[in-house]
Amino acid sequence: MHMADALISPVVGGTLWAVTAGLASYSAKKMGKDLDDAKVPLMGVLGAFVFATQMINFTIPGTGSSGHLGGGLILAILLGPYAGFLTMASILTIQALFFADGGLLALGCNIFNMGFFGCFVAYPLYKRIVGDAPTQGKLLAGAGIASIIGLQLGAFGVVLETLFSGISELPFSTFVLLMQPIHLGIGIGEGLITTAVILFIWRERPEILKKEPYSIAKGSINLKRIVVRMAIATILISSVVSWFASTNPDGLEWSIAKTSNQEELAAPEGIHSVLADWQKKIAILPDYNFKEAAEAASSSAKGEEAAAWPAVSGGTSFAGLVGSALTLLLAGVIGKSLKMAATKRS
């Protein structure tokens, strides 16, 4: 659900940039009060894990479409909504800058759609369902329902942002009637993945899920085993499992194609072109591959040649490992900087 710049106007993009910056500032302020050293590496590892997992599109049966994990709810459950939001912002920023996944003008929209709804709307719903005495059944229900609701709101956010941007190729009624059902299917997939991760944590360290992650320090809980296992999973997913991602267009691309009869919309001149040029220069591994391979894949797609599956690619593996490492570094630096700032204030 990474929006391209062609889907939004400068006014909408700038507004969501401002809103996202405000949410990030608020989250940093709230997070700094209760941040302990144990949470910093967890931010980095979970950010890298979500980055890697987002590379894996899963097929939505019978639709010709696919979806991938958003991850905002997982981050909020394990880190709290404030650290979760900042970690999601780190993931999407790395993706936009170095992998050309999502536009630079649309970055605020993407962080809002996947970060705000996952961390500040879906997470409170999850907490209401799970309550103060979590059980396996409550965790299953909470993760599943909250994942679906969060993704439905994120998809509707995309529709509203294109509407307010005046994208005539995507009329509201048609676009929304395609976006919401396909993202219901994707939400079910996200719910299954989120549940699997949460149940793993429940088996390993159930006390993490019994506490408020943003108000009680995790320093008293040994996180080493979880951190190591999540790191190993990240390496395997980004370097090998990524080869098996679905080649079908994701839910947003599928909805755009069905609505407009175009695979992608052309971006207007002006700020869109300037940002596209910047992104082209910055993105070292566009489309999660070496530049030459990405250009060849783009040419094949335009020629309607069938994409190979599984896509065994050293470039994809390299991109996954680099992206995971960059996300780990950025999220870790943010956490460490907030910790140091809080220490100086005290």
Domain segments of the chain: what residues? 5-251+280-345
Confidence of residue 337 (pLDDT cuts 50, 70, 90): confident
Confidence of residue 59 (pLDDT cuts 50, 70, 90): very high
Range list of H helices, the chain:
10-32, 39-54, 72-79, 81-99, 107-111, 123-130, 136-164, 172-204, 206-209, 224-239, 251-260, 271-282, 291-302, 314-345
Helix (H, G, I), strand (E, B) or coil at 60: strand
Name the DSSP class of 67. E
Question: Where is pLDDT greater, at 11 or 294?
Answer: 11
- The two structure tokens encoding residue 173: 């009624």
Q: What percent of the chain has pLDDT over 90?
A: 72
pLDDT at residue number 190: 95
Contact 155, 183 (CB under 8 A): yes
Cβ neighbourhood burial of 59 (10 Å; 0-12, 13-18, 19+): middle
- The two structure tokens encoding residue 288: 């999660």
Name the DSSP class of 215. T
Q: How many Cβ atoms are within 10 Å of 149's Cβ, its own excluded?
A: 18
Single-letter amino acid code for the residue at 248:
N
Closest listed residue to residue 169, CA positions, set 286, 265, 311, 238:
265
- CATH code given to domain 5-251+280-345: 1.10.1760.20
- The two structure tokens encoding residue 335: 């956490």
Alpha carbon distance 77, 209 (integer Å): 8
pLDDT at residue number 278: 94
Q: How many Cβ atoms are within 10 Å of 291's Cβ, its own excluded?
A: 14
User: What phi and psi, each to the nearest 5 degrees, are found at residue 189?
Assistant: -60, -45
Confidence of residue 258 (pLDDT cuts 50, 70, 90): very high
Q: Is the pLDDT of residue 215 over 50?
A: no
Average pLDDT, the chain: 90
Alpha carbon distance 160, 117 (integer Å): 14
pLDDT in tens, 141-193: 999 999 999 999 999 999 999 999 999 999 999 999 999 999 999 999 999 99
Residue 141 neighbours by CB under 8 Å, 6+ apart: 129, 130
Q: What percent of the chain has pLDDT over 70?
A: 91
Alpha carbon distance 304, 248 (integer Å): 13
Q: Which residues, in sequence order, are bridge partners of residue 65?
A: 60
Closest listed residue to residue 280, CA positions, set 143, 104, 25:
104
Q: Is the pLDDT of residue 343 over 90?
A: no
Lowest mean pLDDT among 61-65, 93-97, 197-201, 304-308: 304-308
Kindly report the pTM of this predicted structure. Answer: 0.93
Maximum Cα–Cα distance across the chain: 61
Question: Where is pLDDT greater, at 226 or 172?
Answer: 172
Alpha carbon distance 154, 79 (integer Å): 20
- Distances in Å between the Cα of 228 and the Cα atoms of 41, 52, 54, 185 are 10, 15, 20, 32
Q: Is the pLDDT of residue 302 over 80?
A: no
Residue 96 neighbours by CB under 8 Å, 6+ apart: 2, 102, 103, 104, 107, 110, 279
